[in-house]
Amino acid sequence: MTTFDTHAAAPAAASSSGAGALGALVVGVGSWATTTDHKKIGRLFAVTALLGGAASAVIGALLGFERIGAGGYLILDLDSVVQLSSLYRVVLSFGVALPLMLGIAIAIVPLQIGSKAIAFGRLALFGFWMWLAGLLLCISSIAANGGPGGGEAKMVDLFLVGVAITAAGALAATVSLVTTVLTNRAPGMSLARVPMLTWAALTGGVSLLLTLPVVVGTAIYLYVDHHYGRLAFGGNKGVNDWLGWSMTQPQTYVFAAIGVGVVAEIATVASGRRHPLRAILLVGAGVLSVAAFGGATQVQHALTWTDTSGSDKVKELLPFLIFNGLPVLGALVVLGGCVLGLAQGKPRVIAPLVPAVLGLGMVLAGMAGHLVAQFGPAGLAGTVFEEGEFNYVIYGTVLMGIGAISFWGPKLWGRSLPRSAVFGLGTLGFLGTVLSSLPLYVAGFADQPAGVVDGFAYGGPQELWNGLAAAGSAILAVTIVLFALTAARAFRNGEPAGDDPWDAQTLEWSVSSPAPADNFASVPAVSSPEPLFDLKPTGSVK
């Protein structure tokens, strides 16, 4: 028995005397809807995630603009604010960050490890359609006054069903990805030799395997209680209390975990040499995955440090550092290792490096903010400071995804994105992320309450902070839309990329661009972490 799903023969093209353009369209849609080609499945995840990112940023801008005055509702009303806030969180977490990173890994990792296909290809495709169906249920239920705090009981139930289905779909796709890494590597490719993206996909995938079942189980418990009794979990008002952990820190680190592999991979190629600190990068990505334990326990491990003895402070400090500090350390190790690798080589400033590194920097800003927020004496609990952390992590993940699509897009589509556009959009996205997040840090220290857009006041220019945050979300919406349009045009009519446009080091660049359906004519043997580099004249450089 094999874990591979062999590709069905391609449907015959419509003849000139047949159905013509309509028949070709039906065949094309059918081939994508039923494909077991991991490159297509990954693109389905990633493209859908970008669309969700643009829509979510628009919602964030609307909520931000409504907060500017804080003296009445200008665009929205009280009920819609509650629902839009829930929609913003759900879509950015489960509809953008998670599928974007997962889709990139599904599209590229089998190529990197010398596999002809992804393990359980039909399961991966089923996972996509299950994830998409669940996400649409979540969105439609919130639109119909469901979701956390919703007033329509049946729609609240539907929202919980949608969350469970969404998480279960992502879980199915993750099983396929992790199984591929563990079982389908080329001869000679041990886990110590896998590329950085593959290693991050493995560690991040295991983190998802630990946390997504908890999301499913929590949603089921909440559904049963809400549908039959509403006695144990607080009914519709208690949904966020019990499920909110899955849409905040440190669970968001799990959604971003694959991104550190993206940054390490691109930075290594940009350095033009074998990475001298590769083992350190592997450790850093693995340490980041400790964030999964924070999500799985569904507990914020904070430091109260108020009227406690020295021994009690130590007891609080240890779990705080394990659950919150170690993920930050892991991300710092990867970023620092990438910088040192670039400094020791002969670096080239390749365009995808800009959004990727800036994105990881934004994720780190969110992680650092979470460390501060969990320090009780800072008094940040219940303020918009947490929303700033969330924006930093999620939008940073989107930037890493833009870098990944810019880097591996030529291998998937055979054409390159304009270098200037990637530079410009990466910088614009960085600006939008900072504006959407940093002012909320400032407003959090000024005690602006979370979850409301009206009826608050504090000293300082609160209109400025909320106006900047709204503008940041609007800039991000524009960035994502422009990137999607630029990529669509470039990958359709852009300059041919060639098989190895980056002078790269790993196996995916050894095949033609776009990559063939079955990846490799014969499975290659591997003798180092940089198998393609071994074949080049510069391969002897250490």
Flag whether 27 is in a domain: no
Average pLDDT value for the chain: 91
Rounded to an integer, the average pLDDT of 223-251 is 91
- Per residue in 394-427, pLDDT (tens digit) is 999 999 999 999 999 999 999 999 999 999 999 9
Q: 258, exposed or middle or buried, with CB in 10 Å at 0-12, 13-18, 19+?
A: buried
Q: Taking Cα atoms as reference points, which of 289, 305, 102, 107 lies closest to residue 206?
A: 289
Flag whether 426 is in a domain: yes
The pLDDT-based confidence of 193 (bands split at 50, 70, 90) is very high
pLDDT of residue 483 exceeding 60: yes
Residue 309 backbone phi and psi in degrees, to 5: -80, 170
Flag whether 78 is in a domain: yes
Q: 322, exposed or middle or buried, with CB in 10 Å at 0-12, 13-18, 19+?
A: middle
Flag whether 19 is in a domain: no
Higher pLDDT, 301 or 228: 228
Flag whether 28 is in a domain: no
Residue 455: CB atoms within 10 Å: 10
Q: 493, exposed or middle or buried, with CB in 10 Å at 0-12, 13-18, 19+?
A: exposed
- Per residue in 467-477, pLDDT (tens digit) is 999 999 999 99
CATH code of residue 64: 1.20.210.10
pLDDT of residue 238 exceeding 60: yes
Rounded to an integer, the average pLDDT of 252-270 is 96
Side chain identity at 227, as an amino acid letter?
H
The pLDDT-based confidence of 19 (bands split at 50, 70, 90) is low
pLDDT score recorded for residue 376: 86
pLDDT score recorded for residue 9: 42
pLDDT score recorded for residue 70: 79
Contact between 180 and 118 under an 8 Å Cβ cutoff? The reply is: yes
pLDDT of residue 72 exceeding 80: no
The domain in which residue 347 lies consists of 36-453+469-540
- Per residue in 113-144, pLDDT (tens digit) is 999 999 999 999 999 999 999 999 999 999 99
Flag whether 30 is in a domain: no
Flag whether 2 is in a domain: no
pLDDT score recorded for residue 538: 60
pLDDT score recorded for residue 406: 98
Percent with pLDDT over 90 in the chain: 73
The pLDDT-based confidence of 13 (bands split at 50, 70, 90) is very low
CA distance 143 to 80: 9
CA distance 60 to 65: 9
The pLDDT-based confidence of 535 (bands split at 50, 70, 90) is confident
Assign 338 to helix, strand or coil: helix
- Per residue in 313-356, pLDDT (tens digit) is 888 888 888 888 999 999 999 999 999 999 887 888 899 999 99
The pLDDT-based confidence of 3 (bands split at 50, 70, 90) is low
**What is the dihedral angle through the alpha carbons of 381, 382, 387, 388, rounded to the nearest 10 degrees?**
-40
Q: How far is CA 348 from CA 381, 454, 503, 508, 510, in A?
A: 43, 49, 11, 20, 21
How many structural domains is the chain composed of?
1
Side chain identity at 536, as an amino acid letter?
K
pLDDT score recorded for residue 15: 43
Residue 124: CB atoms within 10 Å: 30
- Per residue in 150-168, pLDDT (tens digit) is 889 999 999 999 999 999 9
Higher pLDDT, 355 or 299: 355
Provide the strand spans (E) within 321-435. none
Side chain identity at 356, as an amino acid letter?
A
Flag whether 93 is in a domain: yes
pLDDT score recorded for residue 5: 55
